[in-house]
Amino acid sequence: MASNYGGGYAQQRAGGPGQGGYDRQSTPSAMIALSDVKLQLPVSVELFSSIAEDKAKIVAAAGGGRNNRATQLRKFYDELVMWFDKVNHERTKEAKVSKYAEVAPFIKMMKAKVAYAKGRDHVDTCFEQMFSNLVGQIDGPDTLKHAKLFMEAFMGFYKVHGEK
């Protein structure tokens, strides 16, 4: 026998038939253009400066003071740095490529982690799209390095343009 009590973390929306569902009081999702974020060689001269700053401004505005807390975004940056350090701990290029191949599934798993954070309203659609795009482009030690450097620049600019 099913009970009909008001427990749970989301509240059913009021309304008639066809208007059901759950409402998390979400803000309208903004879009973020990512065609200029390219990790492959040759890397744009502006990737770690004006492009990273532009993305930080967009993500800061999209968060609306409710999502995209700097500490939450920093967790994703820290994990990216951890994987970068594991790969770059190796001495030779061949060893780095081998180590990357070993840890690549865990690097790609960060896409699932950012999706989960989005589902929990810890990050918004813009950050999820940007970070997933970044992780999706990682295909070896060099692109991993470029992703780490981009996120480093992004986090620096986010500190200026983000939550006040």
Are 61 and 30 within 8 A, CB to CB? yes
Neighbouring C-beta atoms of residue 36, cutoff 10 Å: 12
What is the per-residue pLDDT for 21? 40
pLDDT in tens, 113-162: 999 999 999 999 999 999 999 999 999 999 999 999 999 999 999 999 98
Report which of 98, 100, 127 is spatially closest to residue 115, judged by C-alpha positions: 127
Provide mean pLDDT across the span 34-60: 96
- pLDDT-derived band at 3 (thresholds 50, 70, 90) equals very low
Single-letter amino acid code for the residue at 98: S
pLDDT in tens, 90-110: 999 999 999 999 999 999 999
Neighbouring C-beta atoms of residue 114, cutoff 10 Å: 24
0.95 surpassed by pTM:
no
Report which of 99, 60, 61, 64 is spatially closest to residue 82, judged by C-alpha positions: 99
Which of these ranges, 8-22, 69-83, 141-155, has the smallest mean pLDDT? 8-22
